[in-house]
Amino acid sequence: MLESEHDTADFHEVFSDHDKHNMKIYRKDSNSDEQPVFRLTMEVEGVAPFQIASLFSDENIKEEPDWCENCISCECIFEDKHCNIYRTLIDCEFLSNREFIDRKYWKHDPLTDSYYVMFVSADDHPDVMRDYPENDNVVRGKNYQSSYILRPLDDGRTGTKFLLINQSEFGGSVPNWIVKRFTTKPLSKFMMEIINRAKLV
């Protein structure tokens, strides 16, 4: 089940840094074996929503390894009229490399000048799974949801009100307590890499 941007129940704050665009990270823990859900909020002055969203366009997303330290590769492996499917290989530092195979949705709302980018696992796509089976060389993770919601700041300043909702499974035998403890730092780092790159757009 995908989390709604308006569903904030049961989240608790696990990280806050005023110097990083007032970044705050919240986490919702499940009572089952499901992975925790993270919500990240920021207000980024001087960077418009389009500048951030453009990093994930079909034209630019292949450049992610150029600005994201832990991204080894990002390639489009399937195209259709609704969304493309990408295979991303990630260096997880203290874990083995992970690959994610995701549908990518990218939408612009011209009335509010807001952008919506979402990555969702494509593990239910038979053709893609046939052509890209799991193998022993890399561990396959799964994005249940990785959604970026980018809106202009409310007060007329040039900038972006940034919301990320993420629920991912790292694959292998990584227990939930590892995910809870060690996700915050790389998530914060990745957001700053996004902002620093977007400033150049």
CB atoms within 10 A of CB 187: 17
- Hey, which residues does 115 pair with through a beta bridge? 108, 150
At residue 67, the 3 state secondary structure works out as helix
pLDDT at 80 over 90: no
Predicted local confidence at residue 3, as pLDDT = 62
Distance CA 35, CA 180 (A): 9
pLDDT more than 90, % of the chain: 71
Taking the whole predicted model, whether its pTM rises above 0.75 is answered as yes
Question: For domain 12-198, which architecture applies?
Answer: 2-Layer Sandwich (3.30)
Predicted local confidence at residue 59, as pLDDT = 94
Predicted local confidence at residue 94, as pLDDT = 73
| Tokens read off for 186 | 């790389």
Predicted local confidence at residue 73, as pLDDT = 97
| Tokens read off for 39 | 């919500």
| pLDDT tens digits along 123-171 | 999 999 999 999 888 999 999 999 999 999 998 889 999 999 999 988 8
Contact at 8 Å (CB) between 61 and 42? no
Q: Which DSSP helix (H) or strand (E) runs through 64?
A: helix 64-67
Predicted local confidence at residue 183, as pLDDT = 80
Predicted local confidence at residue 178, as pLDDT = 66
Residue-by-residue DSSP string for 122-159: -TT-HHHHHHS--BTTBEE-EEEEEEEEEEE-TTS-SE
pLDDT at 1 over 60: no
Distance CA 197, CA 147 (A): 19
pLDDT at 17 over 80: yes
Distance CA 183, CA 186 (A): 6
Predicted local confidence at residue 18, as pLDDT = 87
| pLDDT tens digits along 55-73 | 999 999 999 999 999 999 9
Please compute the mean of the pLDDT values over residues 7-25 and round it to a whole number.
Answer: 88
Q: How confident is the model at residue 82 (pLDDT cuts 50, 70, 90)?
A: confident
- Hey, which residues does 87 pair with through a beta bridge? 75, 101
